[in-house]
Structure 1
Amino acid sequence: YIQVSDRRSENQRDGWTLSVRQLENFQTKNNDHELIGASLRFLNQQVATAQDGTPPGVQETSDLTLIPGEKHILLQAKETEGAGTWIYRFGDAQSANQSVALDVPKTVSPNAAQYQTTLSWELSAVPDN
């Protein structure tokens, strides 16, 4: 999950955006093999809080598949949305273990090795023009 807290005063609050980008294909630690075409998929996206307030909007409401190099906007809070602390999660207590998946095409022959990638998370609050 990702936790975002917007504690700015009401007159300074003009919204925020949470996005993610997968920087490269899954590859072995020594970069000698890539899982070309493999994709990381997020399911059961949810926004939760223990406070009152208007939640930020989930931008991709179906399953989200990351494509290396492509930026995906996950949450967007407009002016009065997203104040306080919010949790953006993949599944709840019952579905969390089925809410993040790695899809590897049949045409890829993985080595018996550990593969990794890097996700770049961005939280931005950019004023409107």
Structure 2
Amino acid sequence: MSKTITYVVTFENERWVSRCPTGEVEGVGVARSLSQLERDLAEIHTWAWPENTPGVEFVFDLPEDVAAVVAEYSREKELAEAHTKRVAELAVKAAKVLTSHWSEPDAARVMGLSKQRVHQLKVGA
């Protein structure tokens, strides 16, 4: 895939409706589910650009109250992912520091992990 075509998606009359604001694809796509809408658009892309088929991306135009909840969820998810990454980095660092002074079983006890997990962290698995 060389590029991605972005569609603005709304829910209208019990159907998901897609519109391409850039005009690369004319008209609207309509489907009962987002999965079906994505498959339909991918088929259109394959037919229209067989040699260099672009991907499909959705931007959702949601009601304001729903959009606010989704935005809050997205922010918290990003924060959680960043924290998870940082915790993983610190686990490796702690395992290496602790095992440079004490045994893997003792380091595991301090970290609240299994000795196998401490060994994995120490050797970089």
Q: Which has the higher helix share?
A: 2
What's the TM-score bracket when you normalise by the shorter of the two chains?
under 0.3
Q: Which has the higher contact order (CA 8 A, sep 6+)?
A: 1
Q: Which has the higher strand share?
A: 1
TM-score for the superposition, normalised by structure 1: 0.22
